[in-house]
Amino acid sequence: MALKDSILASVAVMLLALTGRAWPALPETADGQQVPSLAPMLEQATPAVVNIATEGRIVVQNNPLLADPFFRRFFKIPDGPIERKTQALGSGVIVDARRGLVLTNSHVVANAVEITVTLRDGRHLQAEVVGTDPDTDVAVIKVPVENLTALPTANSDSIRVGDFVVAIGNPFGLGQTVTSGIISALGRSGLGIEGYEDFIQTDASINPGNSGGALVNLRGELVGINTAIFSQTGGNIGIGFAIPINMALQIMEQLVDTGAVERGTVGVTVQDLTPDLAAAFGMEKQLGAVVTSVAPDSPAATAGLQTGDIITEINKKPVRNGGDVRNHIGLLPLGEAVSFVVLREGKRKSLEAKVVAGTDGGAAGGPRAVNPKLNGVTVGNIDADHPLSGKILGVEVAGIEPGSQAWRSGLRQGDIITSVNHTKIGKLEDFLTAVDRKQGPLLFRVIRGNAAAFLVIK
């Protein structure tokens, strides 16, 4: 029994150290020993988390029969589009009590014509939408300023995998509910959930109705806005996702200022730094994004970015992959300065650009490349009638055998090869010289349609 008491006391001390605050005294067991509890923290955090109920209307897709005037008169169907009422439940977090601002998910308030916010103390307040950003699934709504409690925010860039977190929300409409877990992963992207993804992954239970709720640390600080789960059944299986609060606050300020988020660009496209590309560029770590193209006369071109540069930092934040570049730039206000740190031929360079408003081959039978890695590949100069003729230097892949080594590496007929192992290609002779009996991997920069990419053929 003494060992058990010692362990409980140790856990309690650990939790107190993690919180970094002097919370009210912990409850005691029958034998006088302290036991760990999240209750003191939650008593301060939960008043800032609200339940959201919405009523909306959507236009129902008409059956072709409903277009017949006789049919509509016979069944007394009114003219005009048919609308259907919708109801939804979700959660939100008060982040600015002075202005009455509540953060939630865009999908929670989508199509809403009436929004009712229920506070922890039972009060019901009518809310209005300040702005929504479906690309990040962030929305800001406003409630009357009546004795509100805001949740303090953490720096979500400083959280770590393994940190304890608590999810607070309104699952299945049951009312405010608390679940706990840890941060399972950071920087989750490529999930196809939102347009801009940099999710915190957690195993704290997140279920339908938790959307827009709070993910807090043991200090009671907001680290993320719960937004989605990975599930094959619709219920929680321990894989939930939250929008980092730093990203959500960036979006919130733009929505408050202008009611919308206008995406910006610097005129550069990138791709992930794969292990093969990292080796081809002589990098030991697979962190960064490769610049595949720079738009002429763009801010990136003016700043001096070049194809083949490896972007490792943006605004002093590390870049792990191409998604980081898209997130960092796409979330900045227009006119904002953005600093880059790039690696070029192994040397570190610092560059700066400004964000501006964005917008969203030769004949078969030509010479064959004389390199075993390119068996089955036919290349030629760019035809005069090619859309890129006179606009770009390189050679065109006139033919490629499916299943060949180059084909398995991603090369396709119609690709325009503009460089080989960082050497620019102007015409066919340049290409043949660059690949002839070349030892080691071949690094191609290719143009395909409106996109550019690097390929490694080993």
Cα–Cα distance measured from residue 90 to residue 132, given in angstroms and rounded to the nearest whole number: 15
- Residues 358 and 263 sit within 8 Å (Cβ to Cβ): yes
Which H or E run includes 188?
strand 177-188
- Residues 378 and 365 sit within 8 Å (Cβ to Cβ): yes
Tokens representing residue 337 in the block: 């300065």
Angle CA(412)–CA(417)–CA(420) in degrees, nearest 5? Answer: 120
> Strand 83-96 relative to strand 124-133: parallel, antiparallel, unpaired?
unpaired
For 374, residues 6+ apart whose C-beta sits below 8 A from its C-beta are 368, 405, 406, 435, 442, 457
Cα–Cα distance measured from residue 437 to residue 394, given in angstroms and rounded to the nearest whole number: 20
Q: Is 303 helix (H, G, I), strand (E, B) or coil?
A: helix
Q: Is 238 helix (H, G, I), strand (E, B) or coil?
A: coil
Tokens representing residue 45 in the block: 């955090």
Residue 246: name the closest of 148, 158, 168 by CA: 158
Cα–Cα distance measured from residue 112 to residue 129, given in angstroms and rounded to the nearest whole number: 9
- Residues 273 and 283 sit within 8 Å (Cβ to Cβ): yes
Ordered DSSP codes for 83-139:
EEEEEEEEEEEEEETTTTEEEEEHHHHTTEEEEEEE-TTS-EEEEEEEEEETTTTEE
- Residues 454 and 277 sit within 8 Å (Cβ to Cβ): yes
Give catalytic residue positions. 107, 137, 211
Cα–Cα distance measured from residue 125 to residue 116, given in angstroms and rounded to the nearest whole number: 6
